[in-house]
Amino acid sequence: MSKVKMHRTTPSIDMTPMVDLAFLLVTFFMLTATATPDEPVQVSIPSSVSQMPIPERDMIIISIGKDNKVFFTVDGQFTRAKMLKEMGQLYNISFTPEEESIFAVITSFGLPIQNLKQYLSLGREERKEIAQPGIPVDSLNNQLKDWVLQARLANPKVRIAIKGDDDATYPVVKKVINTLLDRKVNRFNLITGKEAMPDEMKAVAAKKPAI
């Protein structure tokens, strides 16, 4: 009897299906990923049962940080450049074309327009580091009002959303809302997270109003 020879083959697994799957997932996540621009303010938004998605374009977003600083952004490079030019004229500050083009691509900002020129002259990394004081919304110096107006003039289609932090206090929110009401913006959005409708209330909410 000859010895039973043991085959010394290394156990190899066919990895092809796994790799297929891995690449499929990579492709999926790559395509669905949207590059989130870094915001100068971290906002943890409250949640609500509202199901309405945010429009992706033509939005003014007014962020209120947890330290009650107000930040402003609007999408669209053309809108931003035009808005800045008009704002400069209003406040007698002339922005160079370079500054306009930088402004067109940055995200939200929260500083008085008087400091904006200096901010735009900073480098990309420096801009991230700097602590922004927030846009003035006081009744004496309400620049938010002008930003909203100029953004709407530059792009009449824009809608306005307020993205407030859980811990922002009500007086600031009230100031922002009053600013909008002064501009006859009566309809606006509050950006919230998702939350399930409590089960026992579903029946109540589904009922049509008796009016």
Partner 1 sequence: MAEIQGGGGEGGKKGGKVRSKKSSTRIDMTPMVDLAFLLLTFFILTTTLSKPQTMEITMPEKPKEGDKQPEVNEKKVLTLVLGANDKVYWYVGITEPEAKKTDFSKDGIRKVLVEKKSEIRDLIVLIKAMDEAKYKNMVDILDEMTISSIQRYAIVDITPADKEIVRQTP
Is 30 one of the binding residues for partner 1 (CB under 8 A)?
A: yes
**Interaction residues for partner 1, span 140-179 (CB under 8 A):** 161, 163-171, 173-174, 177
Helix (H) or strand (E) run with residue 105 in it = helix 97-105
| Contact with partner 1 (CB under 8 A) among 7, 42, 53, 129 | 53
What is the distance between the alpha carbons of residues 181 and 176, in angstroms, rounded to a whole number?
9
CB 196 within 8 Å of CB 49: yes
Q: How far is the CB of 79 from partner 1 (least distance, A)?
A: 20
Nearer to partner 1, 146 or 165 (CB): 165
In degrees, rounded to 5, the angle at the alpha carbon of residue 154 between the alpha carbons of residues 150 and 158 is 90
Locate 178 and state its tokens.
Answer: 């009053």
In degrees, rounded to 5, the angle at the alpha carbon of residue 109 between the alpha carbons of residues 184 and 29 is 100
Is 49 one of the binding residues for partner 1 (CB under 8 A)?
A: yes
Nearer to partner 1, 19 or 90 (CB): 19
What is the distance between the alpha carbons of residues 68 and 77, in angstroms, rounded to a whole number?
27
Q: How far is the CB of 204 from partner 1 (least distance, A)?
A: 6
CB 45 within 8 Å of CB 193: yes
CB 146 within 8 Å of CB 87: yes
**Interaction residues for partner 1, span 55-84 (CB under 8 A):** 64
Strand partners, 126: none
Residue 140, amino acid? L
Stretch that binds partner 1, among 18-26, 105-113, 137-145, 147-155 (CB under 8 A): 18-26
**Interaction residues for partner 1, span 182-211 (CB under 8 A):** 182, 184, 186-195, 197-198, 201, 204-205, 207, 209, 211
Point out which residues bind partner 1 (CB under 8 A): 10, 12, 15-16, 18-19, 22-23, 25-26, 29-30, 32-33, 36, 45-46, 48-54, 64, 161, 163-171, 173-174, 177, 180-182, 184, 186-195, 197-198, 201, 204-205, 207, 209, 211
